[in-house]
Chain A
Amino acid sequence: MTEFTPLAGLLGGSLIGLSAVLLMGGYGRIAGASGIFAGLLTLSFNTEFGWRFIFIAGVLIGAAVSGLIFFDASSLAFNGGPLTTIAAGLLVGIGTVLGSGCTSGHGICGLSRFSTRSLAATSTFMAVAILTVFLTRHVLGA
């Protein structure tokens, strides 16, 4: 069980939205976590690498600072063992590159600019994720 936390949800969601608006307004970029992170996996350290590096550094700083004040890190709970974690990570990595985005890039930024591609992608990954949890928890009982 995790508790329904509406105020934290609304505050957190608004901050993610502000992040997307600021990055677009200031620098003209989509705040998509998968694309930004994938852009760091390179050996050419140019401006394209530079801004992504700064963004990810900001993510870590923001998480660390807000984590101290608003978040109980001991509440973190993970699903399954190391093999599940590795499989999940691989699938998320492959899927977000092939599908050109994730929850933030497609789900927040893409939908906000009425992209039909993002709507198709978001509907697909939401549906598959819900189905996956249904199968693992209620059918296979893992």
Chain B
Amino acid sequence: MEKLIVLVSGMLFGAGVTISGMVNPMKVLNFLDIFGPWDPTLVLVMGAGLLVTLIGYQILFKRKAPWFAPSFRLPTSQDIDAKLLGGAALFGLGWGLGGFCPGPAVASLVFGRMESITFVIAMAAGMILARQIQKLQRPKAGQISS
């Protein structure tokens, strides 16, 4: 049953980033371009996504555990450090250059464009690289990433 839930959750995510237009890098860049041909669509995407999740989480977290797993697995780290902010800044730079963040980039693969494939391969390489760097710095690193 939990497998079906995960599958449906993934499907909703894929449909959401597609219908909202986030799979189109130009739309995302036009949203980020507040001094140019600004496309405010993503304000509504983020706003609706936040509102639904906020309300849903409030209801869910009254329970002790999810329906089909022993416990909620939430990140526990509280540190706002250079790694968090530096990583977020690098991500912002890449997002601003390409117009793709990870979810929409992966979803856009189904449209079969070479740019999507190139981006996702480069992203995977970047992730592996960053993990190797982290391993060198802190051998016991095992943080939950979201």
A132-B96 CB under 8 A given contacts A13-B16, A14-B48: yes
Residue of A nearest to B3 (CB): A54
Q: Are A13 and B93 in contact (CB under 8 A)?
A: no
- Contact residues in B for A112 (Cβ distance below 8 Å): 50, 53-54, 56-57
Q: Are A27 and B6 in contact (CB under 8 A)?
A: yes
A59-B50 CB under 8 A given contacts A33-B106, A85-B119, A113-B57: no
- Contact residues in B for A76 (Cβ distance below 8 Å): 23-26, 108, 111, 113
- Contact residues in B for A64 (Cβ distance below 8 Å): 14, 110
Q: Are A15 and B97 in contact (CB under 8 A)?
A: no
Which residue, of B2, B14, B68, has the highest number of chain A Cβ atoms within 10 A?
Answer: B14
Q: Are A30 and B91 in contact (CB under 8 A)?
A: no
A4 within 8 A of B: yes
- What is the interface size of chain A, counting residues whose CB is below 8 A from a CB of the partner? 113
Q: How far is the CB of B16 from chain A (nearest CB, A)?
A: 3
Q: Are B33 and A133 in contact (CB under 8 A)?
A: yes
Interface string of A23-66 (1 = CB under 8 A from B): 11111111111110110010000000001001111111111111
- Contact residues in B for A67 (Cβ distance below 8 Å): 18, 23, 110-111
8 Å CB contact of B80 from A90, A108, A120: A120
Interface string of B109-146 (1 = CB under 8 A from A): 11101010011111111111111001000000001111
Q: How far is the CB of B21 from chain A (nearest CB, A)?
A: 6
Q: Are B14 and A5 in contact (CB under 8 A)?
A: no
Q: Are B90 and A9 in contact (CB under 8 A)?
A: no
Q: Are A19 and B16 in contact (CB under 8 A)?
A: yes
Q: Are B41 and A91 in contact (CB under 8 A)?
A: no
- Contact residues in B for A87 (Cβ distance below 8 Å): 94, 97-98, 122
Q: How far is the CB of A131 from chain B (nearest CB, A)?
A: 7
Task: Give the CA-CA distance A24 to B75 in the complex, in Å.
Answer: 13
A14-B16 CB under 8 A given contacts A78-B26, A79-B26: yes
Q: Are B80 and A12 in contact (CB under 8 A)?
A: no
Task: Give the CA-CA distance A27 to B69 in the complex, in Å.
Answer: 5
Q: Are A25 and B18 in contact (CB under 8 A)?
A: no
Closest 4 A/B residue pairs (Cβ): A58-B10, A93-B126, A12-B20, A17-B52
What are 16 inter-chain pairs, A to B, with CB distance below 8 A?
A: A8-B41, A15-B12, A25-B56, A37-B106, A58-B6, A58-B8, A63-B109, A64-B110, A66-B15, A70-B18, A86-B119, A93-B122, A93-B126, A121-B88, A122-B88, A130-B33
